[in-house]
Structure 1
Amino acid sequence: MTRRPFLPFLVLLLGALYCLTPVAWVVIAATKAPRELFTTFSFAPGSGLLDNLTNLTTHGDGVFWRWVLNSLLYAGVGGIVSTLVSAMAGYALAKFSFRGREILFSVILAGVLVPAVVLAVPQYLLLAKVGLAGTYWSVLLPVIINPFGIFLCRVFAAAAVPQSTLEAARLDGAGQLRIFGFIAVPLMTHGLVTVFLLTFVGIWNNFLLPFIMLSDQSKYPITLGLYTFLAQGAGDSNLYPLVITGSAVSVIPLIVLFLALQRLWRADLLAGALTG
């Protein structure tokens, strides 16, 4: 009997090591000087962290930090707007009965199954027709509609927003927009935090869409910017430490976001476990 809990613990521990070991290596490699990076392979910290950060900051007149700001713009604004749209759509699908609701929801579920690579080129052609290709809008607009986020918000709305509360608000004379903003959204807050985190991380790590849409390096997100460093590194090995250091720095905003919102996020996971 005492051996049973050990096996799941061991599996989870191995999974955690599998996921975290590459991250640990990137963080440690960011501390290594070029000679240490290319001559030895070890998990011992190096002596070049400050030089790597300085070179990362000064290279290309600080273009790396411009890429960081672009990623914050794409992921922050895109995540907030996408979460709001998902919340409204999910709430409507969960709490209103209208003709074609199930068909519409089935279409949205089908959108979850469509790979992003299939949609990227048609999206580029559509945005090029209206003159938005190559602009910030070309990265922001495609991420606003998130089928998976709409699906989650419908589940959250159905579970967290009692129909009796909505009926009581309507009897008190509250309009639909007021009910959604002051009743539904607060009740769905924990779930919306989860949707926002998933959307933010997805946009932050997105590479294909900016790669197709953008040609101006000043508009690149951090993923595409680091890719240009890596491509240039074929002719200049000194850029490899910049790629590794930039990759380590790019993880920091995600860690800060998860730590800042972990109370709400963990509460949503606990609520899901209790209701399940």
Structure 2
Amino acid sequence: MTSLAPAQPDQQASGSSPSTPDRALVRPGTGRGRAGASFTSRAAVTAVLLLATLYMLLPVTWLLFASTKSAEQLYGSSIFSVTDFAFFENVAGIADQSDGIFFVWMGNSILYATVGAVAGGLISVAAGYAFDKFRFRGRNKLFAFVLVGVLVPNTATVLPLYLLFSPLGLTNTAWAILLPALCNPFSVYLARIYSQAYIPDETLEAARVDGAGAVRSFFSVALPMITPGFITIALFQFVAVWNNYMLPLVMLTSERLFPVSLGMSLWQGYTRGDPEFAPLVVTGSLLSIIPLIIAFILLQRYWRAGMTEGAVK
């Protein structure tokens, strides 16, 4: 009996050997066009980043040059020209003004911002961690209420806070600035995101098996793993409290309690009647951003740290 085998194609007629795979057709110029498009996109992104950098550095550069000028030079010469270096004279004028009240304002701002960053950041991280890892009745509804707070601007809460603090005698005190800094809905939301991404449930379960309670699990296990997130939230809180203007304006009446943002606004009003205050305002504005720059430089290494340290492999 004869078996029928499938017919083999004529290899010689096709001009290909059985060991040579067919080559895919490549359009001419495709690789070059793709490389050109990639270069164009990189150039566009680089140009946008350079413009953003210039936009952020130009005001600081203006402050650097303006702080070296006297009142006459500030109004009568080009801002980027260097004539007489009057920076130290301006700093001395700031120190002599009202018995050095500028440095009192700086100390107040450092106190308000540091407490708001550390205590407020810790409360926000604990709240975000609880919303993520704990299961309790009404959790999602309560978190939705927190998200509503993100949509409310801080200026809209100033008057209700004043009406709450006034009967308690907390207005014109440091507590009027510190207590609102302890609660930030956006920081709670951000903390929950970090908790979901970088704190495995298996690690917490292992801690519970070893006998750790909820509080110890948070401080000994969860908080070290989420340290970069805590630093990020603390920096956001620090900058927000440092730049806060409307709340101190409504709550405080004593100049000795003013933060530097409100104090600079007060001195800015003096320049309308006395132009000699202009160099003091400019130099004080430059000095007021130095703590922010130091905070970012010292804490940036925590952002580069391994955010998954201690995670289950």
Aligned to 1:194: 232
**Counterparts of 1:97-108 in structure 2 under 5 Å?**
97-108=135-146
Name the amino acid aligned to 1:215.
Answer: T
Give the Cα–Cα distance (whole angstroms) in 1 for the partners of residues 273 and 184 of structure 2: 39
Higher helix share: 1
Aligned to 1:274: none
Q: Which moved more, 1:65-74 or 1:19-28?
A: 19-28
CA-to-aligned-CA distance 1:91-149 (integer Å, 9 cap, x gap): 00010111111111111111011011110001011000111011000011011101010
Give the Cα–Cα distance (whole angstroms) in 1 for the partners of residues 303 and 64 of structure 2: 26
Q: CA deviation at 1:267?
A: 3.9
| Alignment match of 1:61 (pick from 99, 120, 124) | 99
Name the amino acid aligned to 1:166.
Answer: L
Give the Cα–Cα distance (whole angstroms) in 2 for the partners of residues 210 and 265 of structure 1: 31
Q: Does 2:41 correspond to 1:4?
A: yes
TM-score (norm 2): 0.84
Give the Cα–Cα distance (whole angstroms) in 2 for the partners of residues 39 and 45 of structure 1: 12
Give the Cα–Cα distance (whole angstroms) in 1 for the partners of residues 199 and 303 of structure 2: 18
**Counterparts of 1:4-23 in structure 2 under 5 Å?**
4-23=41-60
CA contact (8 A) 1:29 1:45 kept: no
Q: Does 2:134 correspond to 1:96?
A: yes
Q: Does 2:160 correspond to 1:118?
A: no
Secondary structure at the aligned position of 1:247 is classed as: helix
Aligned to 1:168: 206
CA-to-aligned-CA distance 1:55-81 (integer Å, 9 cap, x gap): 011111000000000000000011111
Give the Cα–Cα distance (whole angstroms) in 2 for the partners of residues 168 and 115 of structure 1: 41
Aligned to 1:151: 189
Give the Cα–Cα distance (whole angstroms) in 1 for the partners of residues 192 and 51 of structure 2: 34
Name the amino acid aligned to 1:90.
Answer: G
Q: CA deviation at 1:265?
A: 2.5
Q: CA deviation at 1:15?
A: 1.3
Name the amino acid aligned to 1:27.
Answer: L
* Larger Rg, first or second structure (1 or 2): 2
Aligned to 2:27: none
CA RMSD of aligned residues (A): 1.2
Give the Cα–Cα distance (whole angstroms) in 2 for the partners of residues 188 and 44 of structure 1: 48
Q: Does 2:100 correspond to 1:75?
A: no
CA-to-aligned-CA distance 1:149-193 (integer Å, 9 cap, x gap): 000110111111110111111111111111010001000000100
Aligned to 2:13: none
Q: Which moved more, 1:18-27 or 1:58-67?
A: 18-27
Aligned to 2:16: none
Give the Cα–Cα distance (whole angstroms) in 1 for the partners of residues 79 and 241 of structure 2: 32
Name the amino acid aligned to 1:140.
Answer: L
Q: Does 2:241 correspond to 1:203?
A: yes
Name the amino acid aligned to 2:194.
Answer: F
Give the Cα–Cα distance (whole angstroms) in 1 for the partners of residues 88 and 249 of structure 2: 30
**Counterparts of 1:24-35 in structure 2 under 5 Å?**
24-35=61-72
Divergent runs of 4+, >4 A: none
CA contact (8 A) 1:75 1:204 kept: yes
Aligned to 2:3: none
Give the Cα–Cα distance (whole angstroms) in 2 for the partners of residues 69 and 101 of structure 1: 39
Q: Does 2:221 correspond to 1:183?
A: yes
Q: Does 2:171 correspond to 1:133?
A: yes
Give the Cα–Cα distance (whole angstroms) in 2 for the partners of residues 120 and 114 of structure 1: 11
Q: How many residues align?
A: 270
Give the Cα–Cα distance (whole angstroms) in 1 for the partners of residues 165 and 303 of structure 2: 35
| Alignment match of 1:38 (pick from 75, 80, 87) | 75
TM-score (norm 1): 0.95
Give the Cα–Cα distance (whole angstroms) in 1 for the partners of residues 97 and 138 of structure 2: 55
Aligned to 2:293: 255
Q: Which moved more, 1:3-12 or 1:212-221?
A: 3-12
CA contact (8 A) 1:78 1:144 kept: yes
